[in-house]
């Protein structure tokens, strides 16, 4: 079952009653999407029996199977297992995958399996494909599922964000429709640049990040002079904080040769950083730069941030953070 078909049916109790074994599949686990999904399902009261969240990484395999295989006094439960990749041990994961593939009750169960781990062959599970990157149509389906009745102006605004068939991460689209729901239609034009960040339609931000990590000060400040006033100070603090936080963990994973984790963490970082600039990165320097941004955030919230961005860039490009 594809994503849009699932969302069209998921708001009905009948769907959940008729599908007691649901296997969500995808290339990566979208945490925000599933959190919002089950929050909405509980709000709509469409789950066929009481919801229970099981943390598979904290439960022995025998305990997991026992919980699913029995009902107390004939009372069923709806078990959400989330990402079962967190089951301890490769052999245990394979065994549990096989157990779920043939599971037929007495309870209802739903879980997520990455594409390359989905068991082949006959299964009793209903498979639902969850896209890593969502399209305009996917995002509209999300809005409908969450009960957001966007007017014509909001729908046209959303369509502009996805021009040229651009796609963005599913979790990002979930946040996008929730922000758009809160925003008044009269404020849409003013929010265009803000929402462009969500769908990555502002290439200058990626160029800025590329010059930043490459420590190309000349190119960086030329671009900074052009776009610095486009967003408020708090945006820049958040932007560079996320860039540094992701860079710190990406470099750490790459140094450990954990390429899968590094690839996941490098989302929103310039591609040049992942392929080249990370090798020259000093993790401790990035940590000190991140800590300085934390102080900037505190200063902003207490009413004092005069020329803070300029001081941050001066310390970074001069190597001051590397010599702390």
Grade residue 128 by pLDDT with cuts at 50, 70 and 90. very high
* Predicted pLDDT at 169: 81
**pLDDT tens, position by position, 251-297:** 999 998 888 788 878 877 887 888 888 988 999 999 999 999 988 88
- The pTM assigned to this predicted structure is 0.62
pLDDT, tens digit, 9 for 90 and up, residues 164-173:
666 778 888 8
pLDDT band at 192 (very low <50, low <70, confident <90, very high): low
Work out the burial of residue 18: count CB atoms within 10 Å of its CB; fewer than 13 is exposed, 13-18 middle, 19 or more buried: exposed
Residue whose entry in the numeric block shows the structure tokens 């099981």: 54
Predicted confidence band at 8 (pLDDT cuts at 50, 70, 90)?
A: very high
Answer yes or no: is pLDDT of 201 > 60: no
- Per-residue pLDDT averaged across 114-132, rounded? 81
pLDDT of 88 > 70? The answer is no
The contacts of residue 142 (CB under 8 Å, 6+ apart) are 7, 134, 173, 174, 177
Q: Which 3-state string (H, E, C) describes the chain?
A: CCHHHHHHHHCCHHHHHHCCEEEEEECCCCHHHHHHHHHHHHHHCCCCCCEEECCHHHCCHHHHHHHHHCCECCECCEEEEEEHHHCCCHHHHHHHHHHHHCCCCCCEEEEEEEHHHCCCCCCCCEEEECCCEECHHHHHHHHHHCCCCCCHHHHHHHHHHCHHHCCEEHHHHHHHHHHHHHCCHHHCHHHHHHHHHHCCCCHHHHHHHHHHHHCCHHHHHHHHHHHHHHCCHHHHHHHHHHHHHHHHHHHHHHHCCCHHHHHHHCCCCCHHHHHCHHHHCCHHHHHHHHHHHHHHHHHHHCCCCCCHHHHHHHHHHCCCHHHC
CB 95 within 8 A of CB 124: no
Model pLDDT, residue 250: 92
The answer to whether the beta carbons of residues 82 and 34 sit under 8 Å apart is: yes
Task: Name residue 60's beta-bridge partners.
Answer: none
Q: Is the per-residue pLDDT at 72 higher than 80?
A: no
Which among 243, 210, 241 is positioned nearest to 224, based on CA atoms? 210
The average pLDDT across 12-38 equals: 91
Comparing 307 with 199, the larger pLDDT belongs to: 307
Angstrom distance (rounded) from CA 71 to CA 126? 22
Grade residue 324 by pLDDT with cuts at 50, 70 and 90.
low
Q: Please tell me the total number of residues recorded for the chain in this structure.
A: 324
Q: How far apart (Å, rounded) are the C-alpha atoms in residues 12 and 251? A: 45
Provide the pLDDT for residue 197.
59
67: which 2 tokens? 């919980």
């Amino acid at each position: 079952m594809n994503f849009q078909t699932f969302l069209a049916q998921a708001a009905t109790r009948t769907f959940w009653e008729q599908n007691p074994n649901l296997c969500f599949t995808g290339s990566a686990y979208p945490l925000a999407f599933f959190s919002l999904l089950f929050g909405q399902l509980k709000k709509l009261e469409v789950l066929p029996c009481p919801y229970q969240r099981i943390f598979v990484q904290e439960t022995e395999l025998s305990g997991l199977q026992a919980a699913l295989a029995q009902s107390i006094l004939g009372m069923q439960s709806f078990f959400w297992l989330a990402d079962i990749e967190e089951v301890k041990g490769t052999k245990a994961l394979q065994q549990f995958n096989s157990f779920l593939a043939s599971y037929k009750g007495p309870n209802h169960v739903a879980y997520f399996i990455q594409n390359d781990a989905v068991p082949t062959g006959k299964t009793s599970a209903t498979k639902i494909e969850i896209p890593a990157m969502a399209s305009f149509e996917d995002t509209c389906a999300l809005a409908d599922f969450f009960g957001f009745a966007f007017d014509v102006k909001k729908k046209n605004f959303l369509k502009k964000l996805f021009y040229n068939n651009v796609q963005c991460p599913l979790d990002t689209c979930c946040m996008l429709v929730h922000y758009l729901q809160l925003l008044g239609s009269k404020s849409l034009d003013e929010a265009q640049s803000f929402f462009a960040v969500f769908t990555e339609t502002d290439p200058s931000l990626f160029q800025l990040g590329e010059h930043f990590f490459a420590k190309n000060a000349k190119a960086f400040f030329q671009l900074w002079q052009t776009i610095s006033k486009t967003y408020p100070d708090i945006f820049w603090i958040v932007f560079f904080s996320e860039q540094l936080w992701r860079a710190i963990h990406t470099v750490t994973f790459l140094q450990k040769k954990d390429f899968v984790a590094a690839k996941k963490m490098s989302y929103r970082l310039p591609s040049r950083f992942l392929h080249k600039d990370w090798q020259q990165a000093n993790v401790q320097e990035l940590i000190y730069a991140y800590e300085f941004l934390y102080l900037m955030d505190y200063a902003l919230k207490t009413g004092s941030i005069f020329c803070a961005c300029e001081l941050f860039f001066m310390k970074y490009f001069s190597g001051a953070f590397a010599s702390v």
